[in-house]
Amino acid sequence: MNAIWVANDNLKDGGFTQTKAEVLCTVSNLAFVKHFYPDIKTILFVDDFTKEYYNSLGVLELFDGVNDSILNRKYSIDPKIFWAYSKILAQRSVDGPTITFDLDFRIFTDISKVGFFDGDVSCLMLETITDKYFYSSHERCLEGVQIDNKFPWDDKALNVCLLYFGDNNFKNLYCDWVIDYMYQVSFNYKNLNENVGDNFILFAEQYMLNQFANRENKKVRLLVDDYQEGPLPSYVETCGVNWSNIQNYIYHFGTDKRFIRKKGKEHQIEVQTVSDITNYHIEDNKFLKVFNDIVMMDDHQRCFG
């Protein structure tokens, strides 16, 4: 299996930064992945700017591989509309099975023990998109796009901050559709002056993943089974985790990111928490040296945005 992290400076202006808590989250998650799954190959996708950023923190040497080619190419994909496009390109370039982690996501329990890797595709949770502000209708999102559009069009999407593909052919089918879609929408809206927010990227990346899984009769496994409205669809299975015990398995900044980035109380709590957990469980001195060097850095150093 290949594990993927993606750090892309979308504007290619050297503006990419993370808070100290976010960097520690990424490094801690990598350490736990290597701890639980030593045979998994860990790959960080970077461009020239993010490569230098992580190299300055000593992080690059912790990964099994660093890919600096995919994200340094020029694509006719609008990064303002599709700010997560780099994750799709990275997933398409790596043979499955793959597991992709957001940079602000960390595990601290072996999720294979609850069957997370037993599905064709597995993710954090299922979302009901009805009345969600960041989803447009599929008719709106497909305006002017010539592409396969025969799908169930239900009201569910798959949250992809944690995403596993056990079926390589299905991964590539999904990625190819999304890449084609991003190219077409970027061309159609090349003179767009308004802010479309998250409509198109979340439609493509999350909503369409569920539409493909539903149409292709793929077995979907959820780590969290009680986020969506109503019962689980027939093609979705639970790992038996819900919001009452999720804190025993993972932490994702999610909407907490806006508080953590203020570098106040929430930021300090996360730095202390991830430091305590990582130093208690991880025994690899190489990881701990890099990790604790970052812990000792000042929260407001220039590299921490």
pLDDT at res. 113: 97
The verdict on residue 305 lying in a domain is no
Which pLDDT score, from 0 to 100, does residue 133 have?
53
Nearest Cα neighbor of 109 from 251, 276, 258 is 251
What pLDDT does residue 123 have?
A: 97
> What is the pLDDT at residue 131?
64
Contacts with 153 (C-beta within 8 Å, 6 or more apart), sequence order: 138, 211
**Domain for residue 69, yes or no?**
yes
| Whether the predicted pLDDT of 72 surpasses 70 | yes
Domain that holds residue 31: 2-295
Per-residue pLDDT of 22-31, as tens digits, reads 999 999 999 9
Domain membership of residue 184 (yes or no) is yes
300 located within any domain: no
CA distance between the termini of the chain: 33
List pLDDT tens digits, range 207-251: 999 999 999 999 999 999 998 888 999 999 999 999 889 999 999
Q: Is 303 domain-assigned?
A: no
Other beta carbons within 10 angstroms of residue 9's beta carbon come to 21
Q: How many domains does the chain have?
A: 1
pTM of the model: 0.95
Q: Which has the minimum average pLDDT: 36-45, 190-199, 254-263?
A: 190-199
Task: Specify if 152 maps to a domain.
Answer: yes
With a cut of 90, say whether residue 95 has pLDDT above it. yes
Rounded Cα distance between 243 and 236, Å, is 17
Q: Is the pLDDT of residue 54 over 70?
A: yes
Indicate if the pLDDT at residue 197 is higher than 70. Answer: no
What pLDDT digit, counting tens, does each position of 243-274 carry?
A: 889 999 999 998 888 888 888 899 999 999 99
- In the chain the beta strands, taken as DSSP E runs, fall at 2-7, 41-46, 65-67, 98-101, 105-107, 121-128, 156-165, 220-224, 236-241, 250-252
User: In this structure, is residue 302 part of a structural domain?
Assistant: no
pLDDT of residue 132: 64
Task: State the pLDDT at residue 191.
Answer: 80
Q: What is the pLDDT of residues 98-150, one digit of tens each?
A: 999 999 999 999 999 999 999 999 999 999 987 665 567 899 899 999 999 99
In a domain, 202, yes or no: yes
Count CB atoms within 10 A of the CB of residue 46.
27
The domain spanning residue 75 has which CATH number? 3.90.550
